[in-house]
Amino acid sequence: MTAFLHRAALPRCLSWRFLDVMLHNIHGTPHLIPRHGAQFVAGGGRSLAAYTRAQNRMQHTEAAGAVEVDIKRLDGEDAGIVEVLMCQHKARNALGHIFVSQMREVVSALSNDSAARVVVFRSLVPGVFCAGADLKQRALMNNAESDLFVHGLRSLMTQIASLPTPTIAALDGVALGGGLELALACDLRTAAYSAQMGLIETTRGLLPGAGGSQRLPRMIGISLAKELIFTGRRVGGQAALEMGLVNRATEQNQTGDAAYREALSLAREILPQAPIAVRMAKEAMNRGFEVDISSAMAIERMCYAQVIPTRDRQEGMAAFIEKRPPRYTGE
């Protein structure tokens, strides 16, 4: 489906056992920070990884030759920017079995790709970012199968949120339900004023089940998030900008890719910065946001310690003294 992605070990932020010791000294009791380990599906001891592998095997024949999620590496001055392309035209990028399986493959590969400095999630389907759940497929699932599938979606969004590089979702069209949850899993979002987005699950007898009920309140505040989820309301790009749901919003252009152009502009602002420093900053903010301030300071200290011995830090200092632009290599 996709071109071979170069894989290399990424710098890790912390020695987590050492951090637990530090937090023990701060609080007097062990404070364990969960890492990504085996997750288990509801109703038994079957691991999510095993379920996903089984699903992938079942879909192998059907998925052969059907590209619903692809990848594009930019070159030249934009080298380091990677685009995740969602291109399921018939189902409007709905979160069906093949789409989810291919998205998981791409995200898994990017998580170990040191050449990627910024990742942009965009749609090639006009007027649509992601339409959310594939209701035709979901209608064929029994209760247990539906629970397993949504659990897999939740895991996928966590994988996206855990990518070490900055991620940007470009919303040039509709992003509803799971489609907005995918955008919420990204670090940053851009939108066209004409885009429509919302967590509409309560209008279908459901609630947001792929992280939306947790990420939206953290992003825009609990009271406003409750209003949007309780009512299933859709909002446009301008309203989304005003409430902090997106970082940038712009008028749509004639080619229908204004949000993508804005995302690319944002990616180009990130691209020249020291890649290890950017990754460690993301790690520090993501992990620190979920704990108390004393624990967060310990996390920041450990992340900061990772950049001190890098060549990029030395290059940054040298460039400042010599009054020239730095040339960061990610080392």
Phi–psi pair at 189, nearest 5 degrees:
-140, 140
Q: For 23-29, what is the mean pLDDT?
A: 42
List residues with catalytic annotation: 133, 178, 181, 201
Looking from the CA of 327 toward its CB, the CA atoms found within 13 Å total: 2
Q: How far is CA 199 from CA 42, 164, 207, 324, in A?
A: 23, 26, 8, 47
pTM score, whole prediction: 0.81
Helical H runs in the chain?
A: 16-27, 48-63, 97-110, 135-138, 143-161, 178-184, 212-220, 222-231, 237-242, 258-270, 275-288, 293-307, 311-322
Indicate if the alpha-carbon torsion angle 329, 84, 3, 211 is positive or negative: positive
Per residue in 47-60, pLDDT (tens digit) is: 444 444 444 444 44
DSSP assignment of 101-159 equals HHHHHHHHHHTT-TT-SEEEEEE-STTEEE--B-HHHHTT--HHHHHHHHHHHHHHHHH
Given a cut of 60, whether residue 70 has pLDDT beyond it is yes
Q: What is the largest CA-CA distance in the chain?
A: 66
Higher pLDDT, 169 or 8: 169
Read off the tokens for 320.
Answer: 């400042």
Residues present in the chain in total: 331
Element (H, E) at 245: none
Q: How far is CA 272 from CA 15, 77, 187, 260, 281, in A?
A: 28, 10, 18, 19, 15
Per residue in 160-219, pLDDT (tens digit) is: 999 999 999 999 999 999 999 999 999 999 999 999 999 999 999 999 999 999 999 999
What's the CA gap between 119 and 264, in Å, rounded?
10
Per residue in 216-270, pLDDT (tens digit) is: 999 999 999 999 999 999 999 999 999 999 999 999 999 999 999 999 999 999 9
Contacts of residue 113, Cβ cutoff 8 Å, sequence gap at least 6:
5, 6, 7, 8, 82
